């Protein structure tokens, strides 16, 4: 007997917009990461950004946020520690656990990496028309507002 397939329901306009935003944001982020001449591997940049934004946090929380395994998150944290970009401290709620937080050197490195990406992408943004530039600025304001109202850790 042939297998019967059920067509997926048509996405709502908001769902379609969300998918388009997710796909384009991911592509833009990968493009920025490749364009940045800051020398930081993307995985370290992503992990350091998350710790800086949400830390101090446990390695298990970083793994969950990054949707990766605990051993992978542990390895990332160890690499960040070797560079002096994060440090661990005792978790006041559980003496067996530690919290990971960004160091001043880590924040500086993150600033440098983001600046390198900004310099790399600026020529493309400079090529936009005045109207496109205004549209992008308005879109960023909307995105900033969406992110500001996201659930914690989102």
Domain boundaries, the chain: 40-145
Q: Where residue 100 falls among pLDDT bands split at 50, 70, 90?
A: very high
Over residues 32-59, mean pLDDT: 88
pLDDT for position 21: 92
Is the confidence at residue 3, as pLDDT, over 70? yes
Q: What number of residues does the chain have? A: 154
Q: What CA–CA distance (Å, rounded) separates 116 from 118?
A: 5
**Pair 49, 102: CB distance under 8 Å:** no
Q: What CA–CA distance (Å, rounded) separates 142 from 133?
A: 14
Over residues 37-56, mean pLDDT: 88
Select 40-145's CATH number: 3.40.640.10, 1.10.10.10, 1.10.150.530, 3.40.50.1820: 1.10.10.10
pTM as predicted: 0.80
Question: Which residues lie closer than 8 Å to 38 by C-beta, 6 or more apart?
Answer: 45, 112, 113, 115, 116, 117
């Amino acid at each position: 007997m042939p297998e019967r397939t059920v067509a997926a329901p048509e996405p709502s306009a908001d769902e379609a917009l969300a998918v388009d935003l997710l796909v384009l944001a991911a592509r833009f982020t990968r493009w920025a990461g490749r364009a940045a001449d800051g020398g930081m591997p993307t995985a370290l940049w992503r992990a350091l950004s998350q710790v800086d934004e949400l830390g101090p946090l446990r390695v298990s929380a970083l793994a969950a946020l990054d949707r990766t395994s605990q051993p992978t998150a542990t390895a990332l944290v160890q690499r960040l520690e070797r560079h002096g970009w994060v440090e661990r401290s005792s978790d006041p709620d559980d003496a067996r656990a530690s919290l990971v937080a960004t160091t001043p050197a880590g924040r500086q490195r993150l600033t440098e990496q983001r600046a390198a990406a900004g310099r790399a992408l600026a020529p493309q943004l400079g090529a936009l028309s005045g109207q496109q530039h205004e549209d992008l600025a308005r879109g960023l304001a909307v995105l900033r507002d969406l992110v500001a109202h996201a659930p914690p850790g989102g």
